[in-house]
Amino acid sequence: MSKLWDVMRDLLQQGQFSDMEILCQGVTFKVHKAIVCTQSSYFHSAICDGFKESTEKAINLQDDTPDTVERILSFLYLRDYSEEGHNVQYEQPVSELAIHNNESDSLIPENEPESTEPAHQAAFNDIEVFIAADKYGIIPLKTLAASKFS
C-alpha cells in the first residue's frame, strides 16, 4: 500500500489529532473534520452551519449501527470498507481502532444480529451502507455499496 494509505489508516485507527467525535449507540469514533466534513454534505452541514454539533464537535448517529458507521468511516479514510468484518483488512487488530464503547469493554454491542450465512450478511451490510451513504450525502460510497451489492 501507499504511504498515504498508511497515514490515513493510522489516523483512523489511532484517532491522533482528532478534532471531532461521532457517537453511535454508546460507541465513540474519534475522527477528523478535514476528512469527514469534506466528503459528506451531512457532516459538513452539521459542523459548519451553526448547529449545536458545531460547538460540541460531536455528532450523534443513533439511527445507525456502530458497524455501519465504522464502514462509512473506513470508506472516508481508506476509500473501501469490508462487507463481512468490521473494517478493511488492517495490519493491526480491529481493537486498536480509535473507537471506544462507553458502556463496556467490547468494541461493538453484543446485541447486534449475527447471520449464519455470510453472503446474506454481506448483502445486508451493503444495503445498510448504501442507505447511510444516501442519508449522509456520500455519493462515491453510495456507488461503491451498490457495486458491492450487485
Domains located in the chain, CATH noted: 1-88+119-148 (3.30.710.10)
Measuring CA to CA, how many Å separate 9 from each of 76, 101, 129? 11, 20, 20
Taking only the tens place, the pLDDT of each residue in 76-85 is 999 999 876 5
Predicted confidence at residue 62, as pLDDT, reads 93
Taking only the tens place, the pLDDT of each residue in 84-93 is 655 533 333 3
Predicted confidence at residue 24, as pLDDT, reads 95
Predicted confidence at residue 102, as pLDDT, reads 55
Which residues of the chain fall short of a pLDDT of 70?
A: 1, 84-117
Predicted confidence at residue 114, as pLDDT, reads 54
Instruction: Give per-residue burial for 87-99: e unless 16+ CB within 10 Å, then b.
Output: bbebeeebeebbb
Predicted confidence at residue 94, as pLDDT, reads 42
Predicted confidence at residue 121, as pLDDT, reads 86
Predicted confidence at residue 86, as pLDDT, reads 53
What's the predicted TM-score (pTM) here? 0.79
> What's the number of CA atoms in the CB half-sphere (13 Å) around residue 10?
9
Predicted confidence at residue 150, as pLDDT, reads 83
Predicted confidence at residue 12, as pLDDT, reads 92
